[in-house]
Amino acid sequence: MSVIEVYDTTLRDGTQAEDIAFTLEDKMRIAYRLDELGFHYIEGGYPGSNPKDALFFEEVKKEPLKNARPCAFGMTRRVGGQVEGDAIINSLLGAETEVVTVVGKSWDLHVRDALRTELDENLRAISESLKFLRKHDRFVIYDAEHLFDGYRANPEYTLSTLKAAVDAGAQRLVLCDTNGGCLPSFVAKVVAEVVAAVDVPVGIHTHNDSELAVANTLAAVEAGATHVQGTINGYGERCGNANLISIIPNLMLKMGHEAIPHKNLKKLRELSRFVNELANMSDSKRQAFVGESAFAHKGGMHVSAVVRNPETYEHIDPELVGNHRRVLVSDLSGRSNVLYKAQELGIDIDSKDPLVLEILQNLKNLEHEGFQYEGAEASFELLIKRAQGVLPQFFEVMSFRVIDEKRVVTGVPSSEATIVVKVDGQTEHTAAHGNGPVNAIDHALRKALEKFYSELSEVQLLDYKVRVLPMGSGTASMVRVLIESGDGENKWGTVGVSYNIVEASWQALTDSVNYKLLKSRGPALG
């Protein structure tokens, strides 16, 4: 059994996918979740390309990762230039990460047609860039772009680029199927030859243009690669990157390698859905290992066999990856998920307590209505507390009203919210303005409550997302609102669902306030 390094590039390569965009807050939340699961490397972005990626590295220095090593990504120096004054190389140093990942050309076609330079100049660019970064005490991972296409066209030159990288001090050599067109047999052949030719650990980075990114990654590991790169849910340019959500359980459960701590395999499904939620993407029901349909059985022979022995139609125990079995004619599972999440939140519920089934049924009803609790853990905790009867009523909402007004067609609309709340029998009636209806409601609610709960002045609305649900038609559809809040020390997510976007936002906002008060004034968990 060997340890396979897991290198995540969701925050950089993943964001090159069509329809994928993360805010800085999204990137930070994802990075800390990956760190919590035990990933080895997290590529935070390309600090030389945009301010958001540069800010990521500033933020991660303030609250360092506990397990993973953050990586700044860049490329070799400009052809014909000097490494000392190269803007991209300097941006890598400016990120102040221990680890830097540098991509360079290994296909002679790219050297001639993309860089428009001589083959020897490309070798010098690789060598000088890596030597310079090593001189500045950086741990250097070298990504050999288009390695497999280059090897097919001109193996001698491609191997010379790898030798230049190794001689310059590269500590990891990552072979990239950048166009995603290779077959597993060819990938395995090339990886084995490279592993035999170099004395540094070899990695693999594949794209999914032929629907083979995961297969090619596993073939590379079988051929000797000990470092794998990919993204959560396979996000990436064109058809995507290798999907780490599939690669990790295959490495650990099928191939006997170590990747992340074994106990954290159970968090893979939650991770997949968490990242989808922040990306504002729908979960794929049929995604391997973690999809809602991955262990679903419908009717006839399959159901009768699975009830007797799950191994008859399941390749692994679904709970190993945080999923659950579903028998569609009569759902026999789900209790364990509630118990697992409650335990994770520190809430003690007896597995035999009828309350578990009550919570489960409530959860199913809410999910049918469009609620989803990945990325909204605070709302889920409140759901359990309400069912237990231990959630204090910190305030009672008597009524609220929101007015949007635009007096001049070319002017900026204004929003005003009026709210009436009752706290310990005392009624508070207040109003506030905002730059939109949700902002106005947020201001009005906290203005009314801060008189009683001063700690609410610490709370800030950090992020706000709306997703139209496939229920209804057009503007008559239901919407789900996901809100992230924070108080300077902690961050939490809440959710609301309604045909009315203001009502959905209100649900998420009041959950956010209740969660803050629960943590500051509520009873001990459990």
Q: Average pLDDT over the chain, rounded to whole? A: 90
Residue 338 confidence (pLDDT): 66
Angle at 515 between CA 481 and CA 492, to 5 degrees: 55
- Taking only the tens place, the pLDDT of each residue in 58-97 is 999 999 999 999 999 999 999 999 999 999 999 999 999 9
- Taking only the tens place, the pLDDT of each residue in 206-251 is 999 999 999 999 999 999 999 999 999 999 999 999 999 999 999 9
- Taking only the tens place, the pLDDT of each residue in 289-329 is 999 889 887 665 666 676 678 888 889 999 999 998 876 53
Look up the CATH number of domain 356-389+458-526: 3.30.160.340
- What separation in angstroms does the CA of 51 have from each of 71, 84, 91, 114? 16, 22, 11, 26
- What are the helix (H) ranges across 240-312? 244-249, 268-279, 300-308
| DSSP code per residue over 201-223 | -EEEEEB-TTS-HHHHHHHHHHT
- Length of the chain as a residue count: 526
Q: Determine phi and psi for 410, rounding to 5 degrees.
A: -90, -5
**Who's near 100: CB < 8 A, 6+ residues apart?**
71, 72, 73, 74, 92, 133, 138, 139, 140, 141
**pLDDT exceeds cutoff 90 at 340:** no
Q: Are 244 and 221 in contact (CB under 8 A)?
A: no
What mean pLDDT comes out for the span 355-375? 78
Residue 476 confidence (pLDDT): 63
Hey, what amino acid is at 375?
A: G
Q: Are 231 and 240 in contact (CB under 8 A)?
A: yes
Residue 368 confidence (pLDDT): 78
- Ranges for all domains in the chain classified under CATH 3.20.20.70: 74-255
Distance CA 220, CA 228 (A): 9
Candidate from 94-98, 119-123, 169-173, 483-487 with smallest mean pLDDT: 483-487
Top mean-pLDDT range of 43-57, 82-96, 330-344: 82-96
Residue 292 confidence (pLDDT): 86
What mean pLDDT comes out for the span 429-442? 90
Residue 303 confidence (pLDDT): 62
Which long-range contacts (C-beta less than 8 Å, at least 24 apart) are formed by 446-452? 446/513, 448/419, 448/421, 449/395, 449/421, 449/423, 449/513, 452/395, 452/423, 452/424, 452/426, 452/428
Residue 230 confidence (pLDDT): 98
Strand-pairing partners, residue 143, are 103, 174
**pLDDT exceeds cutoff 60 at 278:** yes
Distance CA 417, CA 444 (A): 6
Tell me the CATH class for 74-255: alpha beta
Top mean-pLDDT range of 111-115, 163-167, 494-498: 163-167
What mean pLDDT comes out for the span 127-139? 98
Global pTM?
A: 0.70
Q: Is 233 helix (H, G, I), strand (E, B) or coil?
A: helix
Residue 525 confidence (pLDDT): 39
Top mean-pLDDT range of 152-156, 396-400, 461-465: 152-156
What mean pLDDT comes out for the span 32-38? 97
pLDDT bracket for residue 343 (50, 70, 90): low
Residue 282 carries which DSSP code?
A: P
* Residue at token pair 């390698």: 257
Residue 117 confidence (pLDDT): 93
Residue 337 confidence (pLDDT): 54
Q: Which CATH number fits the domain 395-452, given the four candidates 3.10.20, 1.20.120, 3.30.160, 3.30.420?
A: 3.30.160
Q: Determine phi and psi for 5, rounding to 5 degrees.
A: -70, 135
Distance CA 321, CA 333 (A): 15
Distance CA 192, CA 196 (A): 6
How many percent of the chain have pLDDT more than 70? 92
- Ranges for all domains in the chain classified under CATH 3.30.160.340: 356-389+458-526
Top mean-pLDDT range of 113-117, 166-170, 386-390: 166-170
Residue 526 confidence (pLDDT): 38
What mean pLDDT comes out for the span 192-196? 98
